[in-house]
A and B are shown apart, each in its own frame.
Chain A
Amino acid sequence: MSALPRFELDGRPLVRAGFATIGLAAVIAAGSRGGRWIDPALLGYLIACLFAFFGVAYRYFAWLERPATAMFWRWTLKGLTTPKRWLRIPRMAAALADQMVLQRFIDFRAHRRWAAHALIAWGCMLAFAVTFPLVFGWVRFTSEGLNPDRYQAWFFGFPAGAFALGTPVALLAFHILDVAAVMVIAGCLLAFMRRLKDEGEQSTQRFGLDLMPLLLLVAVSLTGLLLTASVRFLDGRNYGTLAFLHEMTVILLLLSLPFGKLFHIVQRPAQAGATLYREEGETEGLRPCATCGRDHIRPNQRKDLERLWNELDLKGAVHSNGVHHLDLCPSCRRRTLMKAHSQRLHGAFDPFAEIPLPTEPIDDAVSLRS
């Protein structure tokens, strides 16, 4: 018997991911004017991007197949296609900006965690915003006419501004990836420091899932900075080797995207949908707990959860008084366990109950033990 785990692919996500990748290839072809403006030096990156996109799309579509994810997905689609809900779209965009750009929810978890995450996330977003269009041939730079001192930027084959060499704009354009690399390295160092010190993190972190992505990000950023160092300080010595190393680390990072922790970059926007779902449910007013009467559950979620429970084969969770378990608030669920337990112990907590005496003495050494 093979020691390797069985690797299975689901048909529907596979087909959807295939179509999505073909779609991306078509947009790349359109943006690079039939591939004319694709930089041959970046071809390796382009192929890795397409593979990574396919992997990410496959995992994303496979994720949507889960009944619980599909529940939210259906709702989000309904939210975007029902005109009366369009009024909520600005609110959803604001939630998305707060959660994806400002990331304040991480600041509430811990300031240092936020600093590390913000540096890594913004550094990566900056780098992705520059490198993907360059690799796809959507952005390119040429000399402006016959003037070698001015650069012309092109986007999707259309002129998108010009700048002179030696100006701050040129400096930023040529070194924006260095800025991103420094941000990512600083963020990774902060994250490493936290992971080295925090006992909670140490007990749950795993090398492949939590540390490897950080190491890959540092490797990509460091080799990228070394390219600049080679040009500026070493007269271009070892540039070829460094470029190869950088390409290898980037390809490794790209191919790890569907498998590792960095997949949360594409999962995370679902949070905005969840926020909106919650807000819509609350406008209808909370349904009370069937037992204590305190505010308990949003009506839309109550309906969806019962359907989800049925889909997951969690049927029949109805109490003898006709109450569905979903209609009990968490506190009443806990008290039900306590009540059932004390009943099993013959009403040990009822001051008026008759408690049967033990038939033989219990050798209870607890009070003598630590």
Chain B
Amino acid sequence: MVGAEFGFYIDPQRCIGCRACVASCGECGTHRGRPMIHLDEMDRFASTQTGPTVCMHCEDPICAQVCPADAIKRSEDGVVHAAQKPRCIACSNCELSCPFGVPIIFRGLEQMLKCDLCYDRTSVGHRPMCATVCPSQALLFVRHEELAGMRGNRPLREFEIGALRITTRNAVMVPDPEIPLNLDASLLCPEGGR
């Protein structure tokens, strides 16, 4: 069980795009050889911005709600696990419904895999692989009380997509966490999509 005193804090502003997190994620025992962290480039031509995405571990995970095989479980410590191997039928519902674009369906394996907060490590008191190797600490796994002395920003766990509100275990760092972060696609495509 992951200690309730620990939190995972994401500070995309600090990401330098080194991909150390991607390389180390593949070392995790629960999905060995397959990195589950996503590292996206925002606009390669105009900006150096890169962003790491791990599972946010929603309080009421949509991936689990839409899973027809009832294969996705959230443990008592708030960690949403990858689909259970005996049950997952690789229907893609979770991949297509995750608000943050996290799960990956592996054809052939017929299974969904996703970040499970390196449960083999965090359940025995170690930090997740990505947070261990991140040189700029864009990915941070620390005790809640340690965070205040380390960052000017504060953790935000509330997100909005239109009228949909999502609360997560993991947090992103912002100056004003009282206001939910509105994930609005018009930021990428103001004119209304294709």
Interfacial residues, chain A to chain B (CB-CB below 8 A): 63, 66, 68-69, 71-72, 99, 105, 108-109, 198-200, 202-204, 261, 264, 267-268, 270-271, 273-274, 277-278, 288-291, 293, 297, 301-302, 305, 308-309, 312, 314-323, 325-345, 348-351, 358, 362-366, 369
* Cβ of B187 under 8 Å from chain A: yes
Q: How far is the CB of B184 from chain A (nearest CB, A)?
A: 5
In the complex, the number of residue pairs spanning A and B with C-beta atoms less than 8 Å apart equals 243
A350 CA to B187 CA, complexed, in Å: 13
How many B residues touch the partner, as a band? 35 or more
Q: How far is the CB of A120 from chain B (nearest CB, A)?
A: 11
| Contact in complex: B13, A334 (CB < 8 Å) | no
| Contact in complex: B109, A109 (CB < 8 Å) | yes
Interfacial residues, chain B to chain A (CB-CB below 8 A): 12-13, 28-32, 38, 40, 42, 47-49, 51, 53, 62, 65-70, 81, 85-87, 89-93, 95-102, 108-111, 116, 119-121, 123-124, 137, 149-153, 159, 161-164, 172, 174-176, 181-194
A169 CA to B88 CA, complexed, in Å: 40
A203 CA to B12 CA, complexed, in Å: 29
Chain B residues whose C-beta falls within 8 Å of the C-beta of A66 in the assembled complex: 68, 70
Q: How far is the CB of B121 from chain A (nearest CB, A)?
A: 8
Q: How far is the CB of A62 from chain B (nearest CB, A)?
A: 10
Chain A residues whose C-beta falls within 8 Å of the C-beta of B109 in the assembled complex: 105, 108-109
Contact of B89 among A202, A274, A315, A358 (CB under 8 A): A274
Say what secondary structure dominates the interface of chain A.
Answer: helix
| Contact in complex: A349, B120 (CB < 8 Å) | no
Which has the most chain B C-beta neighbours within 10 Å: A267, A293, A316, A325?
A: A325
A289 CA to B101 CA, complexed, in Å: 13
Q: How far is the CB of A76 from chain B (nearest CB, A)?
A: 10
| Contact in complex: A344, B174 (CB < 8 Å) | yes
Say what secondary structure dominates the interface of chain B.
Answer: loop
| Contact in complex: A317, B190 (CB < 8 Å) | no
| Contact in complex: B185, A72 (CB < 8 Å) | no
Chain A residues whose C-beta falls within 8 Å of the C-beta of B48 in the assembled complex: 349
| Contact in complex: B119, A337 (CB < 8 Å) | no
Q: How far is the CB of B144 from chain A (nearest CB, A)?
A: 16
A320 CA to B189 CA, complexed, in Å: 10
Chain A residues whose C-beta falls within 8 Å of the C-beta of B184 in the assembled complex: 319-321, 336, 340
A337-B123 contact, Cβ under 8 Å, with A321-B193, A327-B193, A362-B152: no
Smallest Cβ-Cβ distance to B82: which chain A residue: A204
A200-B42 contact, Cβ under 8 Å, with A105-B110, A316-B163: no
| Contact in complex: B51, A337 (CB < 8 Å) | yes
Chain B residues whose C-beta falls within 8 Å of the C-beta of A105 in the assembled complex: 108-111
Q: How far is the CB of B34 from chain A (nearest CB, A)?
A: 11
